[in-house]
Amino acid sequence: MANDFLYSQPVKIWFGEGKIRELGEILKDTGASRCFLVCDRFLRPAAEKLMGEIPEICGIFSDIEENPQISGVREAALLIRSLGADSVAGMGGGSTMDTAKFAAAIACESEDALAYFRGVRKFPAKRLPMIAIPTTAGTGSEVTQVSVTSCGKEKKTINDPAFMPRAALVDPELTYSVPKRTTMNTGLDALAHALEGYWSRNHQPIPDLMAAEAVRLVLGNLERAWRDGNDREARRNMSMAALLGGLSFAVPKTAGCHACSYPLSEDYHLPHGEACAFTLSAFVRINADDRLEKLARDAGLSGTEELAERIDELKRIGGLRTRLSDLEDLDFDRLCRDCEAHPLMKNNPVEMTAGSLRKMFETLA
């Protein structure tokens, strides 16, 4: 007998090629009359053009690094307050959307961003509505209440309702300019979200369905989007896969691969998607069961082993790092310890100990 469940998804989603040209209407729909736009550096010219066309946009902040720092959140929140903005849009990859989400959550109070990062202060009840506009096809941050920020080397995932966007504007055309390597990294992040949401200990029937579709879409379109960034159909399907990937893990949360991605990013500087992909095929083999077998077959594969092989092939095609020998100054004991200690590891369906993690990493030697 299936378990009872509670599922809710509060984000209004606008999807389609050219949707960005409806941003003015979407801001009005969200009740925004003075919207502050946080954007990726690469998109600064596009953001300035939008500001010239849409009177509701009152300012722009684009000083955002990959693995965004809490200092960027602080700066954006100060600007939002000083301009009297009533809403925040985040246009960029996960780094930009997560900065915008955090800034929108704290802009109504004068407390410093670090107090929230450290968990010393609860997020205020009053916050600004946030509109998420992804320009990579990967994180799914447009539909999650997650924000990943760093203070120096310390990278922290905060999961709080304060971060839930009010609306998501998903325009696949915004992803056409994403370079090959980022296309592959982010696409594998989307695949990891779908697979981990699906095999998570907290998986649920509705996210399960979205996960299965996201897996099918990634397997059918990621290589195409990587080969030709202007392949409209492949880019559209990858934007959809990333969105569904976000919805797949938003409630059940991710598991072993994401747990391992933190030490791999913090200590060995792998971009987020590459860090998740590093252990993804290994976890497919570890977590293989009848449910996963069915998912792989529904995606057109012969089973879980072919799923793992296909992931390895995508990593090879994309030139991603795949072996421990690719990591500089490897401290193997510490890597295993840190992966085991990450809270998301508890969400993996197969219990992982320091010993079993050692064994897993040895298959990647």
**C-alpha closest to that of 192 among 283, 121, 90:** 283
| CA distance readout (Å), 147 to 68, 94, 124, 223, 333 | 10, 9, 16, 28, 29
Of 19-27, 51-59, 88-96, 200-208, the window that binds ligand NAD (rule: CB under 6 A) is 88-96
Q: In the stretch 48-67, what mask flags binding to ligand NAD with x, by CB under 6 A?
A: ------------------xx
Quick check: 273 and 185 in contact, CB under 8 A? yes
If you ran DSSP here, which 8-state letter would residue 12 be given? E
Q: Say which entry of ligand NAD, Fe ion, none residue 40 contacts (CB below 5 to 8 A, set by partner kind).
A: ligand NAD
From the CB of 69, what's the least distance to ligand NAD, in Å? 11
Q: If binding is defined by CB under 6 A, does position 272 make contact with ligand NAD?
A: yes
Q: What is the pairing mode between strands 154-159 and 146-151?
A: antiparallel
- Pair 207, 193: CB distance under 8 Å: no
Residue 323: name its binding partner from Fe ion, ligand NAD, none (Cβ under 5 to 8 Å by kind).
none
Distance, CA of 236 to CA of 239 (rounded, Å): 5
Interface with ligand NAD, residue 28, by CB under 6 A = no
| Least gap, CB of 331 to ligand NAD (angstroms) | 22
Give the Cβ contact number of residue 341 at 10 Å: 12
69: DSSP letter: B
Give 152: exposed, middle or buried? Use CB within 10 Å, 0-12, 13-18, 19+: exposed
The contact set with Fe ion (CB under 5 A) reads 189
25-33, 40-48, 111-119, 225-233 -> range binding ligand NAD (CB under 6 A): 40-48
**Which residue is nearest to Fe ion, using beta carbons?**
189
Nearer to Fe ion, 19 or 272 (CB): 272
Closest CB to Fe ion among 189 and 340?
A: 189
Residue 200 interacts with ligand NAD (CB under 6 A): yes or no? no
318 vs 131: CA distance, rounded Å: 31
Q: To the nearest whole angstrom, how small is the minimum distance from the Cβ of residue 312 to ligand NAD? A: 20
- Residues near ligand NAD, by CB under 6 A: 40-42, 66-67, 92-96, 98, 135-136, 138-141, 144, 146-148, 174-175, 177-178, 182, 186, 189, 272-273
